[in-house]
Amino acid sequence: MAADAPRTLRPSPKDPRENFPIDVPDPDSPVPSNWARYAVGVVLLAATYVLAGRLGFSASAVHPVVSSAWPPSGVALAALLLMGTRFWPGIALGAFFVNLTGGIPPLAAAGIAVGNTLEALVAAWLLTSFAGFRLPLERLRDVFALVVLGAIASTPVSATIGVTALTLSGGAAGIPLGTIWLAWFLGDAIGILLVAPLILTWVASARLRLSARDTIEGTVLVAILVAFTAALFQTPFSYVYAIFPVTIWAALRFGPRGATTASFIVSALAIGYTVRGVGPFATSTAVNNLFQLDTFIALLALTTLILAAAIAERRAVESALRRSRQQHQDVVHHASVGVLRTDTEGKILLANPALVSILGYDEPEQLIGRDMAGDVYWDPTQRSAIVAGFESVGEVAPLEVQWKRRDGSPIWVDVHGRLVRDGTDGTAYFEGFVFDLTGRKNLELQFRQAQKMEAVGRLAGGVAHDFNNLLTVISSCTEFVLGDPTLPDEHRNDLGEVKKATDRATTLTRQLLAFGRTQVLRPSTIDLNDRLAELLPMLKRLFEATIEIRIEPAPDLWAVRADPGQIEQVLLNLAINARDAMADGGTLTFGTENAVVIAERPTSDQEYTMKPGDYVLLKVRDSGVGMDEETQRKIFEPFFTTKEIGKGTGLGLATAYGIVKQSGGYIKVHTAPGKGAEFLIYLPRTQAAPDKIVRTEPRDGRPTSGTILIVEDEAGVRQALQRILTADGYTVVSAENGAEALEVFAARGHDIDLLITDLVMPAMGGRELARQCSVLRDTLKVIYLSGYTRDSLLSQQTFEEGTEFIEKPFTRDAILERIARVLGAERATA
């Protein structure tokens, strides 16, 4: 250990050598500079010991080298505690020289030096090893340890060895050994009590910071101590103990430093006056005078040290308590969950900022004193039942309770609470932690709503698929019969009605597919401003003159990726819905703008939360009657309508919802009774440039030819399609599943010009069939058929560019035109 480093007084149990505090320098480890500093420290300690010894000899009483108060004993103990026990040679050298120069023979001086050194080592060892001594004397246990182990238990070592050395050298002749031993013991004890605490408190305490007021007060205190002590010792009356209030003042105001300094000043003056034969301790025999003086000094030192340590401990406890309270307040204040405390009547006693935020208030003071039942609980009667559960068991499992915010809106919270009882087993107050569950509840509601819509969508898609196959057969057979020129007119009229009903049913199934998000989309990059401009003439023809239509396009609008026809269907459905809401006329406004969506917090009126990103916002706003909250929650559900029976299917908004969701977007509505409605459609932005619009040329009526392979698992659809194509001049080969189709294609693949296959078939779908056939013939043309697309070519039910697809049910003209175009393009390329 370096000479100027204070010794740690709490040895670590990791190293058993530290249980004994005597440091033995390792000759292999110290560097030369450390040895030099160590040597300087030893010399300085020896010199300090000699100077303190000279001062101590001036207070000799029963023997020239036996002092009434031996300061070197305090210097030695303080040095070992602060610097380390390896500096014991400085004590030995100092003790030897001070005794040698005091007239003691060399051998006796060496023996006394050994006793003085052992005294300091034993005291330091006892304090550090057994008492857990800790600087700077701010604990009562440290003061008592210093008194008992340092001043009482260790000083007999020096007294015994010193008296023995004096006796053997003949220096104690004529003086009773017991008197010398007692004087030696008391002198060393007083030296330790006075000097060691003085050094320890001034060196080991925190840096002294005195204000101007403290400096003035300290100066006045020292002056009073000196003057009052001088006055007390120079009066004929024995009132020296009257100085105690002044030293207590020092201990109270300046702590351990003030206590030790005041004790040292008073004791030094008392010893000085007594040695000169002045004062109450100079009126009897030398032994009695010594005993009375040491008793006064011991009581003075103990009183001030104990008082200062007690005050320091109390201040430390108070400081720790303040820190603990502050930490508790910080935890409560900064907690992310609500903290609540109420009295037995339900009045709020404590609320932290998190609870204030949960309940919609501005600051905790606005909640203090409020009644839980009336101001917080959604159902005021619910609190009594919860309190009864608390009082029966003292603590209940977490409860999900509905509360209300300051504005009256409902919230859900999770309360973890308990009751605190007073000393007579009565309830003192209730306290608990409050977690806001509103967001989670909203997400659960959104999830259940999404599940319901998904289930309805699957049901709609499944029904539409099977229904489309039936409609395909009905529509095809109806067209076959209507094509007979000999059909009577009455039958032709009947079949015409069947054809109209089939067309209406076809529209209905396509709406179901759109809602269920199982229809096929043909996406392209479009500009919504262009779509609105193209749709405007149609809307003006549909609407009454009492309804004004406005277009508010945004400049530099971003492009989106969507099916143009489906987007126009969404706009048309919303426009029709707005027209019905404005029976007496009004204004219908279509607007566009670029929108950047950031992360949003879910609310109770949201079905979903939007993914952050760039969107194109399409707004459809009307000035109609608006909707109430109940209607808002159901407007996107299929078959829900507020119109009269027979005036609506309830699929218009459901269709718009499905198309927007299938396109990767979001649809919301803002409305209120009497204030119109505004539908907000968010479609994801794309970086691609808008595609050019290519118009399809009608069929030119030229003769057709070619071989077509039809693969369809529904026999009625397969036979109807085969009949249509055969009648138009095509050579038709059919198969009812993928495996049979592969066999046919393997045998006749070089003759087959076109593959028409259903998308969804048992064992092998149309997509896999087309892939395997394309391996055999890479120029093969393919047209897909399907009534729904649960197994579509791409995720989100979309086709890649150039893929041909025909939805069921189809008409004769539509499929013949598509086949002619596909085969015509192939022949043109050839």
Which domains occur in the chain, in start order? 1-205 (no CATH), 210-333 (no CATH), 335-436 (3.30.450.20), 442-515 (1.10.287), 524-686 (3.30.565.10), 707-829 (3.40.50.2300)
Band (pLDDT 50/70/90 cuts) for residue 17 is very low
Chain centroid offset of residue 435 CA = 14
DSSP 798: B
710 vs 640 pLDDT, higher one? 710
Computed over every residue of the chain, the mean pLDDT equals 80
- Tell me the range of 95-104, 455-464, 627-636 where mean pLDDT is highest: 95-104
Residue 111 has pLDDT above 70, yes or no: yes
Phi/psi for 777 (5° steps) reads -150, 105
In this predicted model, what pLDDT tens digit does every residue of 622-633 receive, in sequence order? 888 888 777 777
Check residue 825 and give its pLDDT: 55
Tokens linked to 161: 């060895």
Instruction: State the amino acid at position 224 in one-letter form.
Output: I
At 297 the pLDDT is 92
How far is the CA of 166 from the CAs of 44, 93, 163, in angstroms?
A: 27, 18, 5
List % helix, strand, coil for the chain (3-state, nearest 5): 55, 15, 30
Q: Is 761 helix (H, G, I), strand (E, B) or coil?
A: coil
What's the distance, CA 178 to chain centroid?
Answer: 74
**Highest-confidence segment of 76-85, 409-418, 493-502:** 76-85
Check pLDDT > 50 for residue 24.
no
**Alpha carbon 168 to its chain's center:** 78
pLDDT of the residue at 461: 63
Question: What token pair was written down for 747?
Answer: 């045998």
Please report the pLDDT score of residue 66 as a whole number: 83
462 burial type by CB count under 10 A (0-12 exposed, 13-18 middle, 19+ buried): middle
Cα gap 766→789, rounded to integer Å: 11
Q: What is the mean pLDDT of residues 147-158?
A: 94
Categorize the per-residue pLDDT at 18 as very low, low, confident or very high, splitting at 50, 70 and 90: very low
Cα of first residue to Cα of last residue in the chain, in angstroms, is 99
Checking if the pLDDT of 585 tops 50, the result is yes
CB-CB contact of 220 with 276 (8 Å): no
CB 378 within 8 A of CB 359: no
Q: Which of 372, 426, 427 is nearest to 401 (CA)?
A: 372
pLDDT at 86: 94
Instruction: Please give the sequence-ordered ranges of beta strands (E in DSSP) within 409-492, or none if there are none.
Output: 410-421, 427-436
Q: For CA atoms 79, 80, 85, 90, give the dihedral sign.
A: positive
pLDDT at 79: 95
Angle of the 244-275 helix axis to the 286-334 helix axis, nearest 10: 150
Q: Mean pLDDT, to the nearest integer, of 5-28?
A: 38
Task: Give the lowest-confidence range in 153-162, 243-252, 704-713.
Answer: 704-713
Residue with more model confidence, 284 or 442: 284
- Joined together, the tokens standing for residue 303 give 């009183």
Q: Is the pLDDT of residue 110 over 90?
A: yes
* Percentage of residues of the chain with pLDDT beyond 90: 23
Distances (CA, A) of 367 to 376, 413, 415, 437, 511: 10, 17, 17, 20, 53
Mean pLDDT value across residues 138-162:
93
pLDDT tens column, 723-775: 888 888 898 898 888 888 888 888 887 888 899 998 878 878 888 888 888 88
Query: Which position has the higher pLDDT, 15 or 185?
Result: 185
DSSP 136: T
pLDDT of residue 154: 95
- Strands 427-436 and 338-342, by their bridges, are antiparallel
CB neighbour list of residue 498: distance below 8 Å, 6 or more residues apart: 474, 478
pLDDT the model gives residue 25: 42
pLDDT of residue 118: 96
Predicted pLDDT of residue 794: 36
Do 781 and 808 touch, CB atoms closer than 8 A? no
Amino acid type, 119: E
Question: What does the alpha-carbon distance between residue 165 and residue 725 come to, in Å, rounded to a whole number?
Answer: 136
Tell me how far apart the alpha carbons of residues 645 and 684 are, in angstroms, rounded to a whole number: 37
